[in-house]
Amino acid sequence: MKYSALLLWSFVPTLIAALPHNHHFHKREAHAAPEVVTVLVTQVVTMAGPGSSDPTTLQTSFVSSATEPAALPSSVVSSKGASAKSSAKSATKASAKSSGSPYSSSIHSSASSSSAVASSTATSEVSSYAEKSKGIAYSPYTDSGSCKSSDVIQSDIQLLSAFDYIRVYAPDCSCVENIMAVMGDNQKLFAGLYYMDSLTTDIETLSSAVESSSQGWDGVYAVSVGNEWVNSGDYSVSQVSAAVSSARSALSDKGYSGYVVSVDTLVAVQDNTDLCDVSDFIAVNSHPFWDGNVLPEDSGTFLKTQIANIYKACGSSKDVLICETGWPTQGDTYGVAVPSKENQLTAIKAIVEEVGDQVLMFTTYNDYWKDGGSYGVEKYWGIFE
């Protein structure tokens, strides 16, 4: 019988050029930061079993971790070292399994079962905490990107009865009429007009859908014009301002007198404070994960600080609403931010405890119709299963 002994691991942080990443079709290209590649070097010696006098084989393997967005302080590197040590031990255990260890099968089965239970518990808890926020984003698309049926959309919305606002990005897939058909008396739609080049026709579509509902425009909390247009570089502040003004006028002609806003990233609004004057309230998206330096348990205090910062930057008495926030459950680590269901639970719990009445959660389900994105997280922000 042979066994493997872990002798050495080390980390070699290397600063490399920053890479931009896209945060799905309804998201921004986040501000770039320097990246670190952490290289895990593991040396494994395969030795004969007890009673044998000589080692038989020397093997050395090298494994590279995912890239990170910023050079980390020594305390963080130490923490990441512990994580890598755990990963190395897992790899050794996997090697033992493949070599026919009599214990490996039962260990693997037990670990898988425990992981599944923990994952299910985290999912259940995270939805309970998310319901303490002001609202949630919803996309009416199947895993393949086609439209969900009316029955499925309505069933989905009935699951979201605890949220005051349901945010959609465009009047696609007859989602507006289907959402309004089943949402409760306590709920309102946060409607969206996503495409600059189809604002006129999308306003017509939105108006027809709203007017066909029993609530009419009273069932609409706000209408957003675009999503992160300035941050993405697609349009200038003046173009966004003109689009919002035009949409506000067209919506007024249709009988709507509620809020009209432009939603952009918090960073984009801070850097372009003219956007503060465009909207009827300050509507921004802010994800602690994409900062790269925020642990999940600090997500609430992070957003509380960001809200205070945007108040200060805009210098106005307008209300601030975070229109997207959350935490991914799968993908690559970004700085100190690690995607997992457990971390999603921790982050959302922290967020609602600090600023629950000022945020909309992102998002209802995993969006498998999207590309994975630079860090492989874009599909995995879903709160419900």
Residues labelled as active-site residues? 324
Q: Which is more confidently placed, 319 or 91?
A: 319
Q: Which token pair is 144? A: 């393949």
State mean pLDDT over 300-313: 98
* pLDDT at position 323 over 70: yes
Tell me, yes or no, whether 280 lies in a domain: no
Q: What pLDDT score was predicted for residue 117?
A: 56
Q: Which is more confidently placed, 286 or 61?
A: 286
Tens of pLDDT, residue by residue over 186-224, are 999 999 999 999 999 999 999 999 999 999 999 999 999
- My answer on whether omega of the bond before 363 falls inside 30° of 0, hence cis, is yes
In the block, residue with structure tokens 């579509």: 205
State mean pLDDT over 368-378: 96
Mean per-residue pLDDT over the chain, rounded: 80
Position 301 confidence tier, pLDDT thresholds 50, 70, 90: very high
Tell me, yes or no, whether 14 lies in a domain: yes
Position 121 confidence tier, pLDDT thresholds 50, 70, 90: low
| Continuous H helices in 213-294 | 229-232, 237-253, 266-271
* pLDDT at position 51 over 80: no
Buried b (16+ CB within 10 A) or exposed e, 71-104: ebeeebeeebeeebeeebeebbbebbeeeebeeb
Q: What pLDDT score was predicted for residue 43?
A: 43
Q: What pLDDT score was predicted for residue 116?
A: 54
Cα separation, 271 vs 269, in Å, equals: 5
Cα separation, 237 vs 243, in Å, equals: 10
Cα separation, 287 vs 331, in Å, equals: 15
Q: What is the pTM of this model?
A: 0.72
Q: Which token pair is 161? A: 């009865």
Tell me, yes or no, whether 274 lies in a domain: no
State mean pLDDT over 315-327: 95
State mean pLDDT over 34-48: 40
Cα distances (angstroms) measured from residue 279 to each of 51, 167, 244, 320 = 77, 17, 8, 11
In the block, residue with structure tokens 């393997």: 61
* pLDDT at position 9 over 60: no
Cα separation, 108 vs 42, in Å, equals: 22
State mean pLDDT over 298-317: 96
Q: Which token pair is 39? A: 């290289």
Tell me, yes or no, whether 33 lies in a domain: yes
Residues 6+ apart with CB under 8 A from 41: 8, 9, 10, 12, 62, 63
Buried b (16+ CB within 10 A) or exposed e, 345-358: bbbbbbbbebbbeb
Tell me, yes or no, whether 81 lies in a domain: yes
* CA-based nearest residue to 354, from 342, 343, 362, 346: 346
Q: What pLDDT score was predicted for residue 118?
A: 55
Q: Which token pair is 288? A: 């602690």
**One-letter identity of residue 342:** E
Instruction: Quickly list DSSP for 67-116.
Output: EESS---HHHHHHHHHHHHHHHHHHHHHHHHHTT-TTHHHHHHHHHHHHH
Cβ atoms of 163 and 134 within 8 Å: the answer is yes
Position 314 confidence tier, pLDDT thresholds 50, 70, 90: very high
Domain range enclosing 62 = 2-99
State mean pLDDT over 105-127: 59
Which helix (H) or strand (E) element contains residue 64? strand 57-68
* CA-based nearest residue to 263, from 243, 291, 289, 292: 243
* pLDDT at position 292 over 70: yes
* pLDDT at position 140 over 90: yes
Residue 226: burial class (beta carbons within 10 Å; 0-12, 13-18, 19+): buried
Position 120 confidence tier, pLDDT thresholds 50, 70, 90: low
Number of structural domains in the chain:
1
Tell me, yes or no, whether 114 lies in a domain: no
- Helices (H) and strands (E) in the chain — how many of each? 10, 12
* Residue % of the chain over a pLDDT of 70: 68
Q: What pLDDT score was predicted for residue 317?
A: 87
Cα separation, 231 vs 367, in Å, equals: 22
Cα distances (angstroms) measured from residue 270 to each of 69, 241, 246, 247 = 22, 16, 24, 24
* pLDDT at position 109 over 70: no
State mean pLDDT over 112-126: 64
Tens of pLDDT, residue by residue over 237-270, are 999 999 999 999 999 999 999 999 999 999 999 9
Q: What pLDDT score was predicted for residue 61?
A: 38
Tens of pLDDT, residue by residue over 55-93, are 433 343 333 344 444 433 333 333 333 333 333 333 333
